Amino acid sequence: MKEILKQKIHNAIYAHKDEIFALANSIASEPELGFKEFKTAQKVADIFAKHNIDYTANHAITGIKGKLKGKSSNRTIAVLGELDAIVCHDHPLADMTTGAAHACGHNAQIAAMVACAIGLKESGVINELDGDVAPFAVPAEEYVELEYRNRLRKQGKLKYFGGKAELIRTGAFDDVDMAMMMHVSMSGETKRLIDIGGTSNGFVGKLVKFIGKEAHAAGAPHEGINALNAALIALTAVNAQRETFKDEDYVRFHPIITKGGDLVNVVPAEIRMESYVRAKTVIAMLDANEKVNRALKGGAMAIGAEVEITDLPGFLPLVNNDKMTDVFEANAIKILGENSTVHLGHNSGSTDMGDLSHIMPIIHPWMGGVTGTVHTRDFKVSDPEMAYLISAECMAMTIVDLLYDDANQTEQILENYRPTMTKEQYLAFMESIK
């Protein structure tokens, strides 16, 4: 019986192939940055409405949360897709004004999430399952434009800078028992392979301001305090800390200077930086952040400047649920054959799916079908069937297994699952990062 349901889903997804491809291309042609994804959110809302999928809007500013009701509703599984783009000015599809581009592949996530929802809805299979499905377009996975998001925070429009963290805070996942989403391969993989399992880094976000004193750069530099020199010494001091970071902790610090001075003939009086401090575990992340802060303060002290450091709650390390991964892998192998999956180790990148993984079981597989490296001008979807349709099939068929027969597999997973944090503990931790 389950195999008949899965075939119906396959047929429904492929019957709407052109519509799904058009959605992915439309999103790629109008990329938007985090908490600004109003056009993209509307595209999702329109397609949900077209397929009679109930939804609510404006979750964490732009999120669109759908609802597919099963024949009983003891459990809910969320299928996520991320709305936002990244800044990559040289990408062929970059927005000429903002530099936004889907060099992150999030348009593929939305297409796969929508395709999964269409497959379950239009096939009628959702009516045979013992649980609900929440197809959810979520904002702001890319942790960028920190000054802009800080303004939103001061205006009371959000509290956390990552989309899923804000959604957890506002209760959008309170009725969800487990979640899944896909991401396209980080390094480009034209073959039809799927990377599964594994872990990734978490991080603390940082806003840093070095404050000096302006003076004429040639006529009276001795009257100034060069904030840029303070920043450069601080970065050198951070580099001197690197040998204290353990290899197994995968520590990363990669700042950018967002303001480097005002005029070339004026001693720089204010330098602004943004960065993350990443690591594999929360303990390593906090330890590295303390060392980085010490170095930043030392750079300012050496020049006689001041420094203001704003630590921001970022993302938690990602941990995939092994039992859910096993169910997903079995379906991937049925679709693509043996040797189509690769078990991952650790990835030093970060995703706010890590936050969700601390409070509920999740999976976050990485799909092939792209070329180029993510976040670069060369990145593109080269195999849309793999990226949009097969991704959706793997997730939808996994949902069938999880919610079939009184949602027995879901109940078994949840019975043996112990969250790293409760929602309350998670929010307390986020508030502790200051």
Q: Cα(51)–Cα(131) distance, rounded to whole angstroms?
A: 19
HEC per residue, 296-354: HHHHHHHHCCEEEEEEEEEECCEECCHHHHHHHHHHHHHHHCCCCEEECCEEEEECCHH
Residue type (1 letter), 4: I
CA atoms within 13 A on the CB side of 308: 7
Evaluate if residue 74 carries a pLDDT over 90: no
**Distances in whole angstroms, Cα of residue 126 to Cα of each of 67, 77, 332:** 11, 12, 20
Q: Mean pLDDT, to the nearest integer, of 23-31? A: 97
Q: Cα(351)–Cα(34) distance, rounded to whole angstroms?
A: 14
Provide the pLDDT for residue 185.
84
Provide the pLDDT for residue 188.
61
Query: pLDDT, tens digit, for every residue of 208-257?
Result: 999 999 999 999 999 999 999 999 999 999 999 999 999 999 999 999 99
Query: pLDDT, tens digit, for every residue of 161-218?
Result: 999 999 999 999 999 999 999 999 876 666 788 999 999 999 999 999 999 999 999 9
Q: Cα(381)–Cα(388) distance, rounded to whole angstroms?
A: 9
Provide the pLDDT for residue 189.
63
Structure tokens, 270: 């204010």
Residue type (1 letter), 99: G
Q: Mean pLDDT, to the nearest integer, of 309-331? A: 96
Query: pLDDT, tens digit, for every residue of 348-386?
Result: 999 999 999 999 999 999 999 999 888 999 999 999 999
Evaluate if residue 321 carries a pLDDT over 70: yes
Q: Where are the alpha helices (DSSP H) in 202-258?
A: 227-241
pTM over the 0.85 mark: yes
Please, what are the domains in the chain?
Answer: 2-198+320-432 (3.40.630.10), 202-315 (3.30.70.360)
CB atoms within 10 A of CB 92: 12
Q: Cα(388)–Cα(108) distance, rounded to whole angstroms?
A: 6
Query: pLDDT, tens digit, for every residue of 386-411?
Result: 999 999 999 999 999 999 999 999 99
